[in-house]
Each structure stands twice: as structure tokens, then as C-alpha cells.
Amino acid sequence: MKRVPIAGPSITAKEIAYVQDAVANAWYDGAGAPVVRFEEAFATYLGRRHAVSLPSCTSGLHLALRALGIGPGDEVIVPDLTWIASSAPIAYVGATPVFADVDPDSLCATPESVRACLTPRTKAVIVVDLYGAMPDMAAIEAVTREAGVALIEDAAEAIGSSLDGRPAGTYGAFSAFSFHGSKTMTTGEGGMLVCDDHTLADRVDQLRDHGRRPGDRAFNNAEVAFKYKMSSLQAALGLAQLERIDELVALKRRLHGWYEDRLGDRSELRIYASPNPGVVWWMVTAQVDPEIGLDKDELQDRLAAVGIDTRPLFRPLSSLPAYADEPQAALARQRNDVAYRLSPYGLNLPSALSLSEGDVDRVCQELVSILAA
């Protein structure tokens, strides 16, 4: 039985050629050249002044918090419905995560949920462009500006998305991207942190290179910091992917359209779409009517039995064992009705860039059959 994968990249001769060139030439006088080219091209693509390549989006969020001076005693607001990589860096700097509820349509934090979590200890808000959707950024910017707190955009899943013509990754003091192998564009593993402030960019450069000031050649470390860098081979792959970004985004749009055409008018489930035409859904996400009597775990098992791989909609962070003893998690479990209502019945459907229309037909037929049983 051919399995239908949940996620995966589109790799062509261009990517292979760029990586082969880096293997052959990114040494000696050419050492690091692909990294510089990738960073410059990515900054140009977004229209931001600085782009810093990293081993992951998680490391980008960590550096953003450190560069902003956030630490013990501070609070950082983060959506409750997201992967733990969005919140873990808050603990890395010794701060406290505060979990905000989400919008039932975008699955992202709302201005109201962010405002409800503000306290005198709040120093930053991390918004997440979940699955490629984007929150009401203008309103959230207004909330953070009024409160005098920093805004960080976790755009890990949102390359290619935009809101009112403004690309994902252009909001806040920092925006961070993931290039994991499952993402729309990939470097295998990897990430990028972007910003416009020169001082913050220099601070990130120092923090990611073991505390060496930018340009230092004497190993004269100014502080104990981190080793957060991307290799030339990864950067070469990323550059090739970036040069194909319009094609990759078009593939994601076409994939989502196939699912909408086949499942969009079903009463027993909902395929998440958006009134924002700029959204590029990284993962096609379905919400099953609770009246069917199937939670996401059982539905995943049944689809897996017929060769179809899926992912569960994230569980609320405040429900995870990792946060079981956190007072803020206990508050969130009582407050965040939307996240707790949606999570048990949400599922990511196969969204790999390699999928054919026939693959999507098969997924939809099996899903409808299971729900009708």
C-alpha cells in the first residue's frame, strides 16, 4: 500500500546543483559565501534590513528574547494553541509564558486574548502565524504599542503568506522562520531571524557566535553565549528553494484548493480557509463535527490503517505535562475555551509538496468514508 505522506519538500535539479557547488567550493576563500548570499536574498525577499540564518526557528525566538533583554521575572504572552517551540524559548531565558486563547477561524491569537493576558510584568508578545494563517496584526500591534511591550512574530509556518499586501515575517521587532524538512521551503533543518533594527541585529550576531562581537577575529569573547549558525550546505539548499518560492507557494495554494473543492461543502467537517486571500496554508487543517463521535486520535488511527498519514491539531500548551505545574497553565485551562474546544477534533491532512491530485482524491474518499461509517 502506497502511503500518503503528511509533509515533505519539493527538490529539483537546482537544489542538488547548488548543494553540490557548496560541497565543492564553500571552503577556504569561499567559506561561508552561501550563507551570506542566502541571508541577503532572504532579507531582500521580505524587505527587511537584516536576516540572520540559524539552525532552527526555535533558536531564533531564543535569540530574539535575549536580544530584547527579557529574563527572570518577566512574562511573555504566547498563543495556547501552537507547538511548544513557540513557548520553550521563554523558559530558556528564565521568563514565564502566559497562554492566550485563539480565534476559532484563524487559530491565531486575537487582540482581545492578548489584552486579557497583559500584566505589569509583560515584556513581550509572541504571535504565531499558525499553519500559515495570520492574526489581526494591525490590532495586535496597537495593543503591544499601547502596553509598551515588544512584539515578536513566529512566522515558522507562514513563508509566502501576507496580510493586506504585507508579507508574513515583516511584523514586530523580530520575525522568525523555520526551514524544517516539512516546511514550504526547507534547508533540511534551519531557520532565519529577521529584523530592521541595526543594534538588535548586531546583538543577535554576537549572541549566535559564542559572544564574539561582529567582525572579531581574535576569539576575544565578550560574553558566554551560543553556537547558533547555519552551514553553507544548508544555505545553498535554502537559496535554491528561495529562488523557487513563487512556485512552492503556488503548489501549496493548489493543494489547498483541491481539498476545498472536495470537502469544502461537507457538513460533517470543516476545512479551514480564510477570508484573507494572502494566506498560504502550510498544512491543510480539518475540524470534525464533534457530533460524529470521532476524536482526532481515533480518526488518525483509522486513516493510518489505510495508508494515510496525518497530524493532530496541536494540544493546548497549557494542557501539556511540560507545563503541568505552572500556575499560568492552570489559569489558561480555565480561560481558553476556544483552544480547548477545537483541539480534540482538529487534524492536519496530508500536505506534502509531492502530492498529486489523485493522492488528494484518495485522502478525501477515505476520510468521507470513515466519517460516514
Query: Of 205, 155, 184, which is closest to residue 53 (Cα–Cα)?
Result: 205
Residue 373 in this model has a pLDDT that exceeds 90: no
Residue 228 in this model has a pLDDT that exceeds 80: yes
Q: How far apart are CA 107 and CA 80, in angstroms?
A: 10
The DSSP element (H or E) to which 115 belongs, if any, is helix 111-117
Burial of 52 (0-12, 13-18, 19+ CB in 10 A): buried
The DSSP element (H or E) to which 271 belongs, if any, is strand 269-271
**267-286 as b/e: b if 16+ CB within 10 A:** eebbbbbbeeebbbbbbbbb
Contact yes or no for 100/336 (Cβ under 8 A): yes
Residue 90 in this model has a pLDDT that exceeds 80: yes
Q: How confident is the model at residue 120 (pLDDT cuts 50, 70, 90)?
A: very high
pLDDT digits (tens, 9 = 90+) for 39-88: 999 999 999 999 999 999 999 999 999 999 999 999 999 999 999 999 99
Q: How confident is the model at residue 195 (pLDDT cuts 50, 70, 90)?
A: very high
How confident is the model at residue 157, as a pLDDT? 98
How confident is the model at residue 1, as a pLDDT? 77
Average confidence score pLDDT of the chain: 97
- Tell me the mean pLDDT in the region 298-325: 98
Contact yes or no for 229/206 (Cβ under 8 A): no
Catalytic residues: 183
How confident is the model at residue 288, as a pLDDT? 97
- Tell me the mean pLDDT in the region 274-283: 95
3-state secondary structure at position 74: coil
Q: How confident is the model at residue 132 (pLDDT cuts 50, 70, 90)?
A: very high
pLDDT digits (tens, 9 = 90+) for 205-216: 999 999 999 889
Contact yes or no for 159/170 (Cβ under 8 A): no
Residue 7 in this model has a pLDDT that exceeds 90: yes
Domains belonging to the chain, first-starting first, are: 13-243 (3.40.640.10), 245-372 (3.90.1150.10)
Report residue 186 as a C-alpha cell: 526547507
